[in-house]
Chain A
Amino acid sequence: MTNINLFPLFLSLKVAFISTALSFLIGLPLAYYLSLNRSRFSDFLDTFTNFPVVLPPTVLGYYLLVLLGRQSFIGKFLEKNFNIMIVFTPAGAIVAAVIVSLPYMIKSSKTALLSINEDYINAARLLGRGELNIFLTIMIPISYRGIISGVTMSFVRALGDFGTTLMVAGSIPDKTLTMPIAIYNALQSGDKAMANLLVLIMTSISVIVLYIVNRLEKKMKRG
């Protein structure tokens, strides 16, 4: 066996953890907003946040490149004021991962929040609590399984992303090379042992996550 460089594994885990945290922080409030609102704007937002699911990853990556590249308004602004570059950096990988995983976070949480019996929320209102307080003390605890399921799905999705990450962050060894791309590279260069090992690691992580999600869903059904 050749000398194995585990940098892609650590980068992938780092990207997946950070992007999952971001997805959670952005996705849960959005899911809450979408669950209680039936306006035109929320319908539009609902559709829009699902876009990354239906768009081909490379197309999505292209849009992100256009939006965040060094020539774009946002890219220029970030580089000038904060010296932050997104494209072809680990930050780019995180942005890509957040974008592809966010829909799963939102969808799963929204479904869980919508399935809460309205009477619980009304009872809390009549007991004198405000909406934010109810969200924190009643809605999240009751729907936590759905929310955790959303977090796990986001994590797997972020961990496994290939196309969008490749477009936005590239595949610079020891800088932006993530696991899925490393597997592809290993196979391309004929390093089967390396490819096998990386595939095995990725499969194990996926199996563990799937097991957790399944258990949660079973518990959810049982109530």
Chain B
Amino acid sequence: MLEVSFEKKFGSFALKSSFCCDKEVLGILGPSGCGKSLTLKCIAGLFPPDRGIIKLDGREFFNSEKKINIPSRNRNIGFVFQNYALFPHLTVYDNIAYGIKDLDKSKRHEKVMDFIKKMQLTGCEKKYPSQLSGGQQQRTALARTLIKEPSLLLLDEPFSAIDTHVKSMLKAELLEIIKKYQGTVLFITHDIEEAYEMCDKILIMNGGQCIQRGDKRDVIKSPVNLDSARITGCKNFFDVDIVGERKGYNLLQHNGLLIYANKNNKTLKEKMTAGIRQHDIKLLKEAEGDMNTFECEIVDVIEGISYSTVFLRCKDLLLQAEISNFKYSEYENGKAFFYISPEDIFVVSKE
């Protein structure tokens, strides 16, 4: 169980981190400069917080009141840096062996060779980091960390330095390694897709604050506020009036449009902001039913490989939708209908 609750001031930037997690993969998601990297460094003991507590499995790493601050070298935390920080003057073998110098020679050799095999680095033992591919570098960094059997694994944007075409392969690899690892993993990223793929739970940070923590599905489904919705990738927002409840949903009104939305937000005010994710909009050639189905006009299309971004106008609303296999010719004069399941519409308080 990792318990984190601390404050740290850096010039005009104030970080306030507070969360717990237990034997799970927690994705820390936020825009750059939100304090997610600093949070990780404080947990690792590379920066002392100003105030607060950092505790792992009952052992206090940091406690400002009791003046406890265990140095990084005694925390046994595994840390994979953004650019892996492999020691450039050491071979793959020596990099991996660096953290277990206390073991006796034969045992150490056995363990290093075991990890080299496990991490598919056979043949790279004598190579230097600069001679490795991105994937090999990542595996070496993971081997160097995991060989110490750390009680906590911290990953700082492990894919930021990787080319897109190898990223998906590396994701699968890393996912497998993470699953085998039994302890808690914190995974930093600014990419919601990545966080969703790699993690069980997601913690959203913004401006030095933790604004939401929960199961990844819940975080996507019901963001607590506009920032959280934006950080998790939502692009369609519009002001609504809450007019009541019907059929088990909240009934919203925007410029004459009546919209049904989920009831996940418990603190409703009269005027709120509604959000719809791009991939939740379904484009139809003809209206099917009347709940949450609206006539619209296709105003622009950005064609992508797997899906296209379609811009729709409905009265004064301009919405973006991600539609797979989109063909403009199927829609006469750009006229179409769109449908959104009430479950996929959320409301948050206005800013």
Contacts and interface: CB of A to CB of B under 8 A. Distances in A.
Contact of B79 (A120, A126, A129, A223): A126
Contacts of A37: none
A141 B88 CA distance: 9
Provide the main secondary structure of the chain B interface.
loop
Given A141-B89, A142-B88, A142-B89, A126 B78 contact: yes
B99 A128 contact: yes
A217 B167 CA distance: 36
Contacts of A137: 98
Interface string B97-135: 011011000000000000000000000000000000000
Interface in A97-137: 117, 119-120, 122-130, 137
B97 to A, nearest CB: 10
A127 to B, nearest CB: 4
Contacts of A128: 73-74, 76, 99, 102, 148
Contacts of B98: 124, 127, 129, 137
A125 B87 contact: no
Given A126-B77, A128-B99, A128-B148, A138 B71 contact: no
Contacts of A123: 79, 81, 85, 87
B44 A126 contact: yes
Interface residues of A, number: 17
Nearest to B150: A126
Contacts of B73: 125-130
Provide the main secondary structure of the chain A interface.
helix
Interface in B23-42: 41
A165 to B, nearest CB: 38
B83 interface: yes
B87 A122 contact: no
Q: B73, B76, B99, B102 — which one has the most chain A CB atoms within 10 A of its CB?
A: B73
B157 to A, nearest CB: 12
B46 interface: yes
Nearest to B75: A126
Contacts of B44: 122, 126
A141 B98 CA distance: 14
A122 B148 CA distance: 16
B153 to A, nearest CB: 11
Q: A125, A137, A223 — which one has the most chain B CB atoms within 10 A of its CB?
A: A125
B72 A122 contact: yes
Given A119-B81, A119-B83, A126 B89 contact: no
A120 B95 CA distance: 11
Contacts of B87: 120, 123-124, 138, 142
Given A138-B87, A142-B88, A125 B81 contact: no
A126 B72 contact: yes
A137 B87 CA distance: 10
Q: A119, A120, A130 — which one has the most chain B CB atoms within 10 A of its CB?
A: A119
Interface of B: 41, 44-46, 71-79, 81-83, 85, 87-89, 98-99, 101-102, 144-145, 148
9 A-B pairs with the lowest CB-CB distances in the bound complex, closest first: A127-B99, A119-B85, A125-B72, A123-B85, A141-B89, A119-B81, A126-B79, A128-B73, A122-B46
8 contacts: A119-B82, A122-B41, A122-B85, A123-B79, A123-B81, A123-B87, A126-B77, A129-B98
